[in-house]
Amino acid sequence: MSQDFFLKYIIVGNTSVGKSAILHRFIKNDFKSDTIATVGVDYKARNINVEDKSIGLMIWDTAGMEAYRSFTQAYYRSSAVAIFVYDITKKETFTAIPGWIQLIRQNCPDNPHLVTVIVGNKSDLEQQRAVDSTEGDKMAKEHKSLFFEASAVTGDNIDEIFEKAAQQCFEKYKDGDIDITNDTFGFLLGPRQLEICSTGGETSGCSC
């Protein structure tokens, strides 16, 4: 059976850790130094392959709302993957991660199979490092999360974040844990017109 999946991803974490830069790097393979915090919900899409399947990733960015911890339900509802980002040069962004995990889990109770990834961004700033990679690794193990240190500037490990998470979703699907016809798991069936929704704020016409 050849089946297209679409997976909903969300990216969270403190302001300025590089969430929008990571997304931009993944989508455009480029670094944008001045990402503008648009107001409203924004998402972007890219296809990847896992085994013999083509999977469409729909990735939601907080668009500046993270400063207020005030996401609309549409933001976190029915996600397949949550990516938690901190900045390896700012300890407080790392210690904030468990709070972000709690917030998303509280607001995403409909998906017990949520795949989580912890990302220490700005690995290019080694001289300014304030969080040891072993601390990140330990936190990820405690929260049963994948863990990566990455850099939106160099592109190091950026594709891996999104691909490993998609692989884990696919494993859960193969294990029979996920009912793909049930939207709450963040798996959606294709085909879909992703372009419709790739501009800021426009959410009509898709079931996200």
Q: Which residues bind ligand GDP (CB under 6 A)?
A: 15-21, 33, 35, 121-122, 124-125, 151-153
Identity of the residue, 36 or 180, whose beta carbon is nearer to ligand GDP in the bound complex: 36
Distances (CA, A) of 149 to 44, 90, 136: 22, 14, 8
How many CB atoms neighbour CB 199 within 10 A? 11
Compute the least distance from the CB of residue 191 to Mg ion, in Å: 29
Q: Which is nearer to ligand GDP, 151 or 203 (CB)?
A: 151
Under 8 Å between Cβ of 43 and 76: no
Among Mg ion, ligand GDP, none, the one that 152 touches (CB under a kind-dependent 5 to 8 A) is ligand GDP
Per CB under 5 A, residues contacting Mg ion are 19-20
Nearest to 4 by CA among 58, 76, 43: 58
Q: How many residues does the chain have?
A: 208
Residue nearest to ligand GDP (CB): 18
Q: Which does 96 bind (CB under 5 to 8 A by kind): Mg ion, ligand GDP, none?
A: none
Nearer of residues 5 and 60 to Mg ion, judged by Cβ:
60
Residue nearest to Mg ion (CB): 20
- Residue 188 burial (C-beta neighbours within 10 Å; 0-12, 13-18, 19+): buried
Question: Token pair of 64, please?
Answer: 């500046």
Q: CB-side exposure of 191: number of CA atoms within 13 Å?
A: 3
**Shortest reach from residue 85's CB to ligand GDP, in Å:** 6
CB-wise, 32 or 141, nearer to ligand GDP? 32
